[in-house]
Amino acid sequence: MRSDNSGVQPSAEQAASVRRKALGDFLRQARGRVQPESVGLPPGVRRRTPGLRREEIAQLCGISVTWYTWIEQGRDVSVSASVWARLASVLGLARAERHYLFELAECADPEHGHDYVTPLPSYLADCVHSITAPAYILDRCWNVLARNAPLLRLFDGWPDRHDSPNLLRYIFTDPAARDLVVDWEQRASRVVAEFRADAAAHADEPDVRTVLDGLQQASPVFAHWWTRHAVVDREGGLREFNHPQDGILRYQQITFRLATRPDCKLVMLLESEFGGSEVNSSFAG
């Protein structure tokens, strides 16, 4: 939270008050953009202001007018996730607007991630193919949605040998991974902690559960590390591979979240000039 002009950080209550006011202002503006006929209401002839009235929003969301008024006024009231979801639906919020609403409300969106289970746009795949370094895109289950030729060479063609290549399944169930990834055990344990951080927001989604259940059954090593509940960010860092044709290869891994698909990550492996001793000391990072 940014400090004010005096250099003093606002208190938690002041910060919450600012957030609630921003939320109320946002709802008021969004309400003013909704055409009554778009939600099944007659347009009316006596509307002095555009959009819906507070009582109409309250009725459509199944809450009291007083309660909704307090929300718009920035009062400290308790609102469930289902009510925020109904508000987002009635107001016809776009994805970015819905995300903004739930961020201001400090509430988890019950439909978080549902919109993202769609094919990857072709332009994102084209972007990966245009990168000269090994690169790939992972979704929230760590399925490989796109990869380029340098990545295929590095992984000795692994992604093309499967209809739905998954990085976790490769690491924990393909014997070739243990040969390719230097210091496999240390890297694999960190990968589990990285995936736990990634999967937290989608732990109840069927596709995530399918991957988790399958890995715990197929790999005792994964199952063991999963029960340890370690959590770390996918920060990147130095990576070392023992390629079957090219020998030891060292890369700097860089990971980006995609703005248009926040459930996905673009991962690039850039050639590293670090020596072997530095790689070994930093490899877990």
CATH number of the structural domain spanning residue 44: 1.10.260.40
Both 70 and 141 in one domain: the answer is no
Query: Does the residue 152 lie in any domain?
Result: yes
Both 178 and 197 in one domain: the answer is yes
Q: What is the pLDDT along the chain (285 residues), one digit of tens a residue?
A: 455 555 566 688 888 899 999 999 999 999 999 988 888 877 665 667 788 989 999 999 999 999 999 999 999 999 999 999 999 999 999 887 988 898 899 888 887 655 555 678 899 999 999 999 999 999 999 999 999 999 999 999 999 999 899 999 999 999 999 999 999 999 999 999 999 988 877 777 888 999 999 999 999 999 999 999 898 887 778 999 999 999 999 999 999 988 888 889 999 999 986 543 333 322 233
Both 99 and 145 in one domain: the answer is no
Query: Does the residue 2 lie in any domain?
Result: no
List of residues 6+ apart from 127 with CB closer than 8 A: 266
* Residue at a domain's end among 86, 110, 134: 110
Query: Does the residue 182 lie in any domain?
Result: yes
The CATH number assigned to the domain holding 143 equals: 3.30.450.180
Both 244 and 152 in one domain: the answer is yes
Both 233 and 125 in one domain: the answer is yes
Query: Does the residue 150 lie in any domain?
Result: yes
Q: Tally Cβ neighbours within 10 Å of residue 248.
A: 11
* Residue at a domain's end among 71, 89, 110: 110
Query: Does the residue 169 lie in any domain?
Result: yes
Overall domain count for the chain: 2
The pLDDT value recorded for residue 86 is: 93
The pLDDT value recorded for residue 206 is: 87
Both 133 and 159 in one domain: the answer is yes
The pLDDT value recorded for residue 109 is: 82
Both 105 and 131 in one domain: the answer is no
Structural domain including 268 reads 116-282
Query: Does the residue 1 lie in any domain?
Result: no
Joined tokens for residue 229: 């509940």
Residue 112 burial class via C-beta count within 10 angstroms: exposed 0-12, middle 13-18, buried 19 and up = middle
* Residue at a domain's end among 53, 76, 110: 110
Both 269 and 133 in one domain: the answer is yes
pLDDT tens per residue across span 138-191: 999 999 999 999 999 999 999 999 989 999 999 999 999 999 999 999 999 999
Query: Does the residue 241 lie in any domain?
Result: yes
Both 70 and 162 in one domain: the answer is no
Both 102 and 82 in one domain: the answer is yes
pTM of the model: 0.70
Query: Does the residue 61 lie in any domain?
Result: yes
- What is the full DSSP assignment across the chain? ----TTSPPPPHHHHHHHHHHHHHHHHHHHHHH--GGGGT----S--SSSS--HHHHHHHHTS-HHHHHHHHTT------HHHHHHHHHHTT--HHHHHHHHHHHT---TTTTGGG-SPPPHHHHHHHHH-SS-EEEE-TT-BEEEE-HHHHHHTTTGGGGSSS-BHHHHHHH-HHHHHHBTTHHHHHHHHHHHHHHHHGGGTTSHHHHHHHHHHHHH-HHHHHHHTTT-------EEEEEEETTTEEEEEEEEEEE-SS-TT-EEEEEEE----HHHHHHHTT-
Contact 140, 113 (CB under 8 A): yes
Both 138 and 278 in one domain: the answer is yes
The pLDDT value recorded for residue 45 is: 59
Both 198 and 136 in one domain: the answer is yes
The pLDDT value recorded for residue 280 is: 33
